[in-house]
Amino acid sequence: MDRYIEKFINYLRVEKNYSENTVINYKIDLELFKTFIADRPVKSIDHLSLRRFLALLKERNFSRTSIARKLATLRSFFRFLTREGYLKSNPISGLSTPKLEKKLPIFLTVADVTKLIESPDISDDLGLRDRAILETLYSTGIRVSELVGLNIESMDFIGGTVKVFGKGKKERLVPIGDRALRSIRDYLSARKASNEEGPLFLNKSGGRLSARSIRRIIEKYIKNISSKEKISPHTLRHSFATHLLDRGADLRSVQELLGHVNLSTTQIYTHITTERLRDSYKKAHPRA
């Protein structure tokens, strides 16, 4: 099993060009499955073995989302083994994925976003940094993991764009607004960034901020403006997409901006706007 996992992980890194975080998640899922099958050879795994594995996950109270992800990992793994000739047939082909509840993303109102962005104290360079981080996330809709990788040279201050490396290390150019650019300039000026290269956002020690540190920063300000428990740093990305669609942006453009491979991933935001229209209709129409 170890040999097959190693070959598959290498395939994900080299041929699929997946990010290291994605590769790690695949490996964690496969290590759990390896523990379940113990010393059994991979060729002996059948449809029944996989059903028993799913039953075990349910017994251990894994969520439907977690089970679906682990099943997706195994689908990719066995598809790879079958395609490469290590297995004659794919044992997982007839196994169905558990149905997932579609949860609508939580988003902030424009007023709440403004309150959040303006909450850092900009009297010092750390406050200016935090303001610039919040402005950038909302202005571009990029993920926290993408923000971490930004360098000074990623910014085009004249053209108003930023070069982003997304999932699968795919590069895309994203528009960025004047307010965000102004905040970034103010921050770079305060920290006396003389060179035009290197990490855009730094920690107190002068190193690149980690994704965990950025999430902590954002969560600190989120607590100041909202008591809702489910609001997270990703909420700014949800708010970005929802506000664009509310103001007439087309779905394809929002898909490109978010860096979604499939349009179906972006369509969840249309459910939000539809839901709001329905609520407005019920409240306003005399015979609703």
Q: Which of 269, 278, 281, 285 is catalytic?
A: 269
Compute the distance between CA of residue 224 and CA of residue 215 in angstroms, rounded to an integer: 14
Q: Which of 131, 143, 238, 243 is catalytic?
A: 143
Establish whether 58 is a catalytic residue: no
Q: Which of 131, 237, 238, 243 is catalytic?
A: 237
Establish whether 237 is a catalytic residue: yes
Establish whether 260 is a catalytic residue: yes
Per-position b or e across 243-280, b if 16+ CB within 10 A of its CB? bbbeeeeeeeebbebbbbeeeeebebbeebeeeeeeee
Compute the distance between CA of residue 121 and CA of residue 87 in angstroms, rounded to an integer: 60
Establish whether 167 is a catalytic residue: yes
Angle, nearest 10°, between helix axes 125-140 and 178-190?
160
Compute the distance between CA of residue 252 and CA of residue 268 in angstroms, rounded to an integer: 13
CB 98 within 8 A of CB 200: no
Establish whether 223 is a catalytic residue: no
Task: Assign 246 to helix, strand or coil.
Answer: helix
Q: Which of 167, 182, 185, 208 is catalytic?
A: 167
Establish whether 103 is a catalytic residue: no
Catalytic residue positions, numbered: 143, 167, 234, 237, 260, 269
